[in-house]
Amino acid sequence: MKRTLMAIAAAATLALSTLAAPAPAHAQRGVAAGVAAGLIGGAIVGGAIASQNGYYGGPGYYGGPAYAAGPPCYWQRQRFWDGYGWRVRRVQVCG
């Protein structure tokens, strides 16, 4: 529905812009009018695109990462073979 309305609005804007300029162009007035029309048109099109993007609260934005405490860690003595004999070392085990 939104895309259809945006397409109709864009077509109406283009049709209105072609009909609204029958006067002869003068360089003094045409530059300012062109810049103003470009800024207004860019704001309208940019707003329409940004509203459907899904960022900042729209569908698809799920917030930041949530950190939860995991299971507690503990120290444990483990025996390992180092190639010459058995040795014991302390390692931290997190479940």
- For 57-66, b/e burial (b = at least 16 CB within 10 A) is eeeeeeeeee
pLDDT digits (tens, 9 = 90+) for 75-92: 999 999 999 999 999 999
Q: At a CB cut-off of 8 Å and minimum separation 6, what does 48 contact? A: 6, 9
pLDDT surpasses 90 at 58: no
Q: At a CB cut-off of 8 Å and minimum separation 6, what does 70 contact? A: 94, 95
Say how far apart CA 13 and CA 85 lie, in whole Å: 84
Q: What is the pLDDT of residue 36?
A: 76
Predicted TM-score (pTM) of this structure: 0.29
Q: What is the pLDDT of residue 9?
A: 77
pLDDT digits (tens, 9 = 90+) for 18-35: 666 566 666 666 666 777
